Amino acid sequence: MMLKIKRVPTVVSNYQKEEAEECARPAAGCGRNCLRSCCLPGAKLPMYAFNKENKVVCEKDLVNNDPPVDFLDSLLLGEWEERMQRGLFRYDVTACETKVIPGKYGFIAQLNEGRHLKKRPTEFRVDKVLQPFDVNKFNFTKVGQEEVLFQFEANENDEVQLFPNAPIDTEHSPSVVAINVSPIEYGHVLLIPRVLDCLAQRIDRESFLLALYMAVEAGNPYFRLGYNSLGAFATINHLHFQAYYLATPFPIERAPSKKITTTNGGVNISDILNYPVRGLVFYGGKTLEDLANVVSDSCICLQENNIPYNVLIADSGKRVFLFPQCYAEKQALGEVSSEILDTQVNPAVWEISGHMVLKRKEDYEEASEEKAWRLLAEVSLSEVRLQEVKELIFEAICCKIEEDKASFEESMTSQSHEDMDGINGSLTCMVPV
């Protein structure tokens, strides 16, 4: 049986049209400056070229070594604000109300009525994490070049450089950063690896390493990247990560964890504790590539076993959270309460991390920790199912589960708190009694 749900897709580009309109559009000469062969010849975009040396993931490197180019503020936000001034966004996200919900966990609620736009409902499969790329459906080659901020590539010279007007190399598909025209927060962008290769929404080692490099280059704990698989509320089957800036800690970043094991490459894997969505957290590694490989191999395992999941990259690339989830499946089977369904909240990576994007004013005004917890608990696998999934993952990455029952893994959480204390006041580790 094929599971489907009626849903309203989120609009991420101004060129996202009804499928029928896209199919009717001629293959060439579209006249709207897109990223396809009809418009690419002679096109140029800024390029941020990063140093792809085998970086070690440690606090000292990330705190003391700022990139020569002020990446986040000068380039990403500068280009993003320029697009805002040009009116390319569907609404002003800076006008959205936001508050921290009272309680131990500090869930963040945002009222974002602009993301709830009337559009013809479409059928969306939720029972297949891996689905073939469909050139006839909306994909990121169809966006206008004005929505693309810059190219993001490794530098052959092993140094960080900014090229303000770099040609687009169509033979070696560039990775690009584009605006999300329906932003959740300030600076909301999409990282699209090898955009012209038309990769389906599935993580591989190379693409995930690129996302980690972006987090490291940003060098700011308030800039996070997220990933949603198909079946876990990705709305476009074209490989992409999301990212935005939010100057407050996510509740998941403050959750305690318990170490399970350490890989041969020095990557620590821990269980997330005392949080409504069960999952794993990865950190450490002798190099950034060690961390990227373990996480991406875990994601590949989930994909190949048809298990939907979400990923959050936090702490400037130092910590990665992985959440297998089952909400869409439960929704399709009629196992989610009408009270939760009525909120029309699709719990993807940002909601799971504790940033609740609410579409109705009444839900925002009545937001509580209890309601946030109740919604997110519907997302989580059971303890028994998660244990089965962990065994699949650990077999895939050839790592034994050796639980350390003696102590909680606090070092990374404590470091994250110290980094944020200097900006946002003291934080406390939340361990409910």
Contact (CB, 8 A) for 149 and 33? no
Give 75's contacts (C-beta < 8 A, 6+ positions apart). 46, 48, 69, 149, 150, 162
Annotation says 240 is catalytic:
yes
Q: Residue 373: what residue type? A: W
Task: Walk across the sheet containing 223-228 and list its strands.
Answer: 161-167, 44-51, 148-155, 176-179, 189-192, 241-245, 223-228, 309-314, 319-324, 280-284, 267-272, 257-262
Three-class DSSP category at 289: helix
Give dist(CA 108, CA 343) in Å, integer.
16
- Helix (H), strand (E) at residue 148: strand 148-155
Contact (CB, 8 A) for 244 and 12? no
Catalytic annotation, pick one of 188, 238, 240, 355: 240
Contact (CB, 8 A) for 220 and 244? no
Task: Write out the DSSP string of 173-236.
Answer: PPPEEEE-SS-SSTT-EEEETTGGG---S---HHHHHHHHHHHHHH--TTEEEEEE-TTTT--S
Backbone angle region of 190, left / alpha / beta, with phi > 0 → left and psi within -120 to 50 → alpha: beta
Q: What is the DSSP letter of 145?
A: G
Give dist(CA 414, CA 419) in Å, integer.
9
Q: Which amino acids are annotated catalytic?
A: 240
